[in-house]
A and B are shown apart, each in its own frame.
Chain A
Amino acid sequence: MGIIDLISASLLLCSLPFFLAGTLGLLRFPDLYCRLHALTKADNLGLGLVVLALMIQADSFQVVIRLLLTWLLVLVAGATVAHLIAHQAQQDGHQPWRR
């Protein structure tokens, strides 16, 4: 196992707690708005780490760009969908949970 493989493996391992946190937040957080925070931010970071791990394994520049684009598209889609859901919740009069 080369040094590149080692770095890739570490990055993949680092991504796991964030994917878990996204799901944990979805289950534990008290309302829709807080759950959207967990899903957008934690999963995006997890996916970013996976993409980074795969990028250093890529054997062509096109694959690197493709991975980067995949991450960016997921970022944009995630943020947009989160906003649309929050927007609709506002329209429907959902009050945010307060401590």
Chain B
Amino acid sequence: MSVVTFRWSRFILRLGGCLFLWWVLTGGRASSWLIGLPTIALALWVMNRFPQAPFWPISVAGLLRFIPYFLLQSVRGGVDVARRAYSPTLPLDPEIIEFPLTLPAGRPQMFFLNSVSLLPGTLSADLNGTTLKVHVLDRKVDPQLGQLENRVAQLFKCPLGSEK
């Protein structure tokens, strides 16, 4: 696997994405570009400084299957942590577990890391190579990270288990 250097196609795609995002967020007001354009330039510069991982496009069918799952899990996660926060006895039994990641590096891994933190009782604490340290609120609850990994793999149509 070679290190990817600057590529125009990727740059144009990112520029377009940033412009569109800013346009939607500000309703396209002309004066907002005074802030928007320098910010976008800064964002593109920062993005370019990060190591470039191989690109995995999102599959639309995978996304449609992921959204309801994610929403349901977010609600469960919020309700779960709220219940613990309100409970007088503070029912927490936390520990840090290690999860061997089998998703390929780049977007699939980043997506997984962020999803873990939004799911019930889990927080991705540290990624070391392919070992993810996950802080769990209750060690008696199965965090079902394997299931999440499968769903993320479907989302990016990427293979599991091949460490590249």
Contacts and interface: CB of A to CB of B under 8 A. Distances in A.
B74 A76 contact: no
B96 interface: yes
B6 interface: no
A57 interface: no
Chain A residues touching B, range: 35 or more
A62 B77 CA distance: 29
Interface string A72-99: 0001101110110011011100001111
Interface string A50-63: 00000000000010
Nearest to B96: A96
Given A33-B123, A34-B94, A87-B126, A25 B118 contact: no
Contacts of B121: 37
Interface string B56-90: 00000000000000000011011111101110001
A54 to B, nearest CB: 15
A83 B92 CA distance: 20
A87 B114 CA distance: 13
Contacts of B95: 96, 98
Interface residues of B, number: 36
B35 interface: no
B123 A45 contact: no
B117 interface: yes
Contacts of B79: 45
Contacts of A34: 92, 94, 137
Contacts of A91: 126
A37 B123 contact: yes
B46 to A, nearest CB: 13
A40 B73 CA distance: 13
6 tightest A-B CB contacts, nearest first: A45-B78, A21-B82, A25-B85, A79-B114, A86-B125, A90-B126
Interface of A: 17-18, 21-22, 24-25, 28-31, 33-34, 36-38, 40-42, 44-46, 48, 62, 65-66, 69-70, 75-76, 78-80, 82-83, 86-87, 89-91, 96-99
Interface of B: 21, 24-25, 27, 74-75, 77-82, 84-86, 90, 92-96, 113-115, 117-118, 120-121, 123-127, 133, 135, 137
